């Protein structure tokens, strides 16, 4: 399999999603309901489907039929017969859950433990749906609001004390002593009779302060949720378009509002601590949570041979951005997903060994197997490792996802 293949990608309709953002990117009318995430990859929960000469084929089936040709020998040796990354367009109109992701070791152990316990993979109270880690990077397409990592404990204590809410005094004392983990644990385990008036009082105090009105907004979405207080102990960041944020294992985070391109390890392992109606497992969350202060890991791209690369320590993925005005060669780097977000970018296989010109041009969405695809905004293509080097031409912006 050497062709570059058009992708048809599923959209996940989570309640916090936007009706307009993904539709506008793809040139459609607003959707009837929320569209939260456009998934591009081989995750078994929602795999992409590729257009081939023989008809549509799910990406996992393509990999299973020719693992080395699809992934390349290096990726196959490192990760096995699976695409180790998942690319998304994420469109948040409302805050996502306060959450953490496990390390590779924690994911493998948790997956085995829940298998032994007989918890079905699709059960709502399942924490570990696969044995893989989920490092992630989100690149903003527009100003994007997020929370990531804990502030210094003394800073959090001072902020909470400044709210003048007497019920926060035990939390302030714990934070003043540096006991972040204990403070979070006690907030999460407060009985409803204490938690709901506490959060209500905190929300009222935040609403009166211009610098904290965002926290009052969280309480509006999730009244009585301890995650509102925990969020005040975290770093708030607003990413400018083109800036990205990396989230390692154990680091608490929440995406609050905006549209971005997200790449992650291909995993669905999430431990939630609040700001959600989904399953919360407090003991497991606390076992995974890193209480150490951590500034948001804001990543700005490094220019390299006409490509802007977002450097991270993740082995599972590497994300690059190409702002194209003419032509550019992309080297062969294993399996690649190319996503257009502006303009029109044509993707071609580069002729090798003097083998003539590229084959017939085919617009995205036309059935067939080909050497060239024109990608409009919101469209994507999959290039297997065997496709080799690629040529990009046109005027627009395309993100390129591959292994790290």
- Phi, psi (5° rounding) for residue 126? -85, 130
Instruction: Please indicate whether residue 318 is annotated as part of the active site.
Output: no
**3-class DSSP state for residue 315?**
coil
Closest CA to 206 of 196, 220, 193, 192: 220
Consult the annotation and say whether 145 binds a ligand.
no
- Residue 154, CB half-sphere, CA atoms under 13 Å: how many? 0
Closest CA to 331 of 385, 266, 295: 385
Consult the annotation and say whether 395 binds a ligand.
no
Consult the annotation and say whether 101 binds a ligand.
yes
**Residue of 272, 321, 348, 349 marked catalytic:** 272
Token pair belonging to 251: 């680091």
Q: Which residues contact 116 (CB under 8 A, 6 or more apart)?
A: none
Closest CA to 257 of 347, 352, 142: 142
d(Cα 135, Cα 100) in Å, to the nearest integer?
10
d(Cα 357, Cα 340) in Å, to the nearest integer?
24
**3-class DSSP state for residue 253?**
strand
Q: Kindly state the DSSP code that residue 17 receives in the 8-state scheme.
A: B
Tell whether the torsion through CA atoms of 273, 279, 280 and 285 is positive or negative.
Answer: negative
Closest CA to 267 of 128, 379, 147: 128
Consult the annotation and say whether 99 binds a ligand.
yes
- Token look-up 């207080």 returns 229
Closest CA to 253 of 135, 101, 99: 99
Tell whether the torsion through CA atoms of 66, 70, 74 and 76 is positive or negative.
Answer: negative
Residues that constitute the known binding site: 99, 101, 136, 253
Binding residue numbers for Zn(2+): 99, 101, 136, 253
Active site positions, annotated: 272
């Amino acid at each position: 399999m050497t062709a570059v293949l058009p992708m048809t990608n599923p959209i996940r309709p989570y309640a916090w999603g936007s009706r307009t953002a993904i539709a506008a990117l793809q040139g459609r009318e607003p959707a009837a309901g929320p569209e939260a995430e456009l998934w591009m990859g081989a995750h078994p929960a929602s795999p992409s489907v590729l257009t081939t000469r023989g008809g549509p084929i799910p990406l996992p089936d393509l990999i299973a039929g020719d693992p080395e040709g699809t992934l390349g020998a290096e990726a196959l040796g490192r990760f096995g017969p699976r695409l180790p990354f998942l690319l998304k367009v994420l469109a948040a109109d409302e805050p996502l859950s306060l959450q953490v992701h496990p390390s590779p070791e924690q994911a493998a152990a948790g997956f085995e433990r829940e298998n032994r316990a007989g918890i079905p993979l699709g059960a709502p109270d399942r924490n570990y749906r696969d044995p893989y880690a989920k490092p992630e990077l989100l690149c903003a397409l527009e100003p994007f609001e997020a929370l990531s990592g804990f502030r210094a404990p003394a800073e959090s204590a001072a902020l909470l004390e400044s709210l003048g809410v007497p019920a926060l005094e035990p939390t302030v004392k714990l934070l003043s002593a540096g006991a972040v983990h204990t403070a979070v644990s006690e907030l999460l385990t407060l009985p409803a009779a204490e938690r709901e008036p506490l959060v209500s009082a905190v929300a009222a105090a935040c609403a009166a302060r211009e610098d904290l009105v965002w926290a009052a907004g969280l309480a509006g979405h999730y009244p009585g949720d301890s995650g509102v207080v925990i969020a005040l102990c975290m770093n708030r960041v607003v990413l400018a378009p083109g800036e990205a944020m990396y989230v390692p294992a154990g680091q608490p985070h929440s995406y609050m509002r905006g549209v971005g391109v997200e790449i992650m390890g291909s995993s669905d392992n999430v431990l939630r601590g609040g700001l959600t109606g989904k399953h919360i497992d407090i003991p497991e969350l606390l076992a995974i949570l890193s209480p150490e202060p951590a500034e948001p890991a804001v990543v700005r791209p490094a220019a390299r041979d006409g490509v802007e690369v977002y450097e991270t320590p993740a082995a599972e993925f590497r994300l690059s951005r190409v702002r194209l005005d003419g032509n550019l060669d992309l080297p062969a780097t294993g399996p690649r997903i190319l996503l257009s977000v502006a303009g029109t970018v044509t993707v071609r296989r580069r002729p090798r060994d003097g083998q003539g010109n590229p084959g017939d041009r085919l617009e995205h969405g036309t059935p067939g197997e080909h050497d060239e695809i024109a990608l409009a905004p919101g469209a994507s293509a999959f290039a297997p490792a065997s496709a080799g080097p690629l040529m990009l031409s046109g005027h627009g912006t395309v993100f390129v996802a591959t292994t790290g």
